[in-house]
Amino acid sequence: MSEPIVSQGGLLGRFGVVVHGGAGNVKPERRAKHAEGCLRAARAGLEVLRQGGSALDAVERAARALEDDTLFNAGTGACLDEEGRVAHDASIMEGKGLAAGAVCDLRGFANPISIARAALDDGRHVLYASEGAARFARARGFVPVGDEALVTEAAREALATARQGAMPMGWAGNTIGAVALDGHGLLAAATSTGGVVNKRVGRVGDSPIIGAGTYADDEAGAVSTTGHGEGMIRLCIARTAAEHMRGGLAAEEAVRRSIEHLRGRIGSTGGAIAIDPRGHYGLSRSTASMSWAATWAEGEASGF
């Protein structure tokens, strides 16, 4: 039986940050911890906005916090490929000039989102892959780390479970993402992941693909997705949700329709978060759980 599609939303006002800690099936007793991790990250992002930083700075900061939290499938603690190694995917985009940066199949760095940000700032190319991405990172001063610094015991256990064919959904949850609106009306989005557990070497998911995992356009909305990456890519879910908002839908309705479409059209599962230019936020999932948090000037909310 498939899970019901759950969605939620609210009003951030002039500025705010929303993060997710991945659509999936986290054990019920652990969900509150994931929501707490999301809240810490969303607060860190909001602090950037309070200090006058941009939406782009805020999503990078929030995503870094989630990458550094070993609970999540990104940065340290990311899931492992079929060879027991970490290969990260990440992307970031800003909604004013539609600048974007991304890395995929990147090995040996703790904060891929900041390397994606460096690609955005550099401006020459949007997406760097594999060894070329690592070379770009080193040239920008990022310090490589060994897999021993990135691989957690939980990730090893998840790989062992997957190798036995006992992975609940066939993919690991806990990808991370962030969307933000700043006081100048600028939107940004970021997504970072280790992908799916036991993935083939060279497999790239939706998270580094602009339009699938991440999208931001000040005239439409900011979106970060999570879930079955192959489905997200085939339906360009982040851009689809953004186009719903361009057409006038509020963020919650936009992501709900996109997640419904993902299920209805190809039977795929996942979740998404969004902010529309009017300052509404929304989230939707067709999985058993998706941890999330939202922070704004006068309040905060979180859940799973």
Ligand X SMILES: NC(=O)C[C@H](N)C(=O)O
Q: Are 62 and 21 in contact (CB under 8 A)?
A: no
Is 226 annotated as a binding-site member? yes
Q: Are 295 and 43 in contact (CB under 8 A)?
A: yes
Tell the smallest beta-carbon distance from residue 255 to ligand X (Å): 14
Is 20 annotated as a binding-site member? no
Is 204 annotated as a binding-site member? yes
Sign of the alpha-carbon torsion through 189, 258, 299, 15: positive
Contacts of 195 (CB under 8 A, 6+ apart): 73, 78, 79, 81, 87, 88, 89, 172, 203, 204, 205, 207, 229
91 near ligand X, rule: CB under 6 A: no
207 near ligand X, rule: CB under 6 A: yes
- Which residues, in sequence order, are bridge partners of residue 283? 8, 273
The binder of ligand X chosen from 54, 73, 76, 286 (CB under 6 A): 73
Number of residues that bind ligand X (CB under 6 A): 17
Contacting ligand X within 4-63 (CB under 6 A): 22
- Phi then psi for 121, rounded to 5 degrees? -65, -35
Helix, strand, or coil (residue 14) = coil
Annotated catalytic residue, options 76, 152, 161, 175:
175
Helix, strand, or coil (residue 58) = helix
77 near ligand X, rule: CB under 6 A: no
- 2/51 with CB nearer ligand X: 2
- 20/117 with CB nearer ligand X: 20
CA distance 251 to 215: 13
Burial of 207 (0-12, 13-18, 19+ CB in 10 A): buried
For ligand X, which stretch binds (CB under 6 A), given 8-16, 139-147, 158-166, 225-233? 225-233
Tell the smallest beta-carbon distance from residue 236 to ligand X (Å): 13
229 near ligand X, rule: CB under 6 A: yes
Is 40 annotated as a binding-site member? no
- Phi then psi for 6, rounded to 5 degrees? -110, 135
198 near ligand X, rule: CB under 6 A: no
173 near ligand X, rule: CB under 6 A: yes
The binder of ligand X chosen from 7, 91, 192, 193 (CB under 6 A): 193
Give catalytic status of residue 240 as yes or no: no
Catalytic center residues? 175
Residues of this chain that bind ligand X (CB under 6 A): 22, 73, 171-175, 193, 195-196, 205-207, 226-227, 229, 232
Residue ranges of the annotated binding site are 203-206, 226-229
Annotated binding site for substrate: 203-206, 226-229
